Amino acid sequence: MTWRPLSPREAKLVAVAILLAAVGLAWLGVVQPIVAGFADRAAQREQLLARQVANDRMIAAIPRLRRAAQDHQRALAAFTLPASDAPTATGQLRAALQAALMAAGGTFRGAEDLLPPPAGRVACRLSARLSPDQLGRFLALAQNHRPALLITALTINAEDALVTGRATSLDVQLDASAPAILAPPR
């Protein structure tokens, strides 16, 4: 096969086609990535601006959030036993139950820690001797105690009721727990 020379008109068309191909390759290889980079960076700037606005709002809210956390801590103190460790908090619970028992007029017989207490709580068992009226007063005092006590078990033994037909003296065993905030270890 032999090649014949191109006419001047065909040569111009081939030259224009090569020029268009070169311009197209230059567009795809150089200009389009640059333009796409501008668009990508503009989108990133918008995202960063939105993140900065959100961060500025969060920074502005820090004093309000700090005050809310302090208010929460003060309110929480009214509902928990503040103590450095679990034995101290259990001792506070035991002392509160004994004080309520003595205020009701009952006779304290003993107390012991209940292990393991539920998470975030301390628990103890109190044994006492009370009359039915004293038991009612004791439970009312325990119910109104701050922090709120949870009475998990109440066992009442009235052995003299079998003999006399009336319970004059009750042997009571009360299991109670209360929420406690323990100081973090140093």
Is residue 185 predicted with pLDDT exceeding 70? no
pLDDT for 68-83, tens place per residue? Answer: 999 988 887 778 887 8
pLDDT digits (tens, 9 = 90+) for 116-130: 877 788 899 999 999
Question: What is the pLDDT, as a whole number, of residue 83?
Answer: 80
**Range 163-168 average pLDDT:** 75
Q: At what angle do helices 86-104 and 132-143 cross, to 10 degrees?
A: 140
The rounded radius of gyration (Å) of the Cα atoms in the chain is 41
Average pLDDT over residues 170-186: 83
Paired tokens of 172 = 């009571």
Distance separating alpha carbons of residues 177 and 58, to the nearest angstrom? 39
- Residues 46-68: tens digit of each pLDDT: 999 999 999 999 999 999 999 99
Neighbouring C-beta atoms of residue 170, cutoff 10 Å: 19
pLDDT band at 109 (very low <50, low <70, confident <90, very high): very high
Span 133-153, pLDDT tens digits: 999 999 999 888 888 888 889
**DSSP string of 106-165, one letter each residue:** -EEEEEEE-SSPPTTEEEEEEEEEE-HHHHHHHHHHHHT-SSPPEEEEEEEE-THHHHHS
pLDDT at residue 186 is higher than 80? no
Q: How far is C-alpha 79 from the geometric centre of its chain's CA atoms?
A: 16
What's the pLDDT at 33?
Answer: 83
3-state secondary structure (DSSP) of residue 78: coil
Number of CB atoms found within 10 A of residue 76's CB? 13
- The answer to whether residues 125 and 175 touch, using CB atoms and an 8 Å cutoff, is yes
Matching residue, tokens 């990133």: 44
Among 153, 149, 145, 96, residue whose Cα is nearest residue 121: 149
Q: Write down the pLDDT at residue 64.
A: 93
User: CA end-to-end span of the chain, whole Å?
Assistant: 95
Residue 172's pLDDT is 93
Tokens of 130: 């009370």
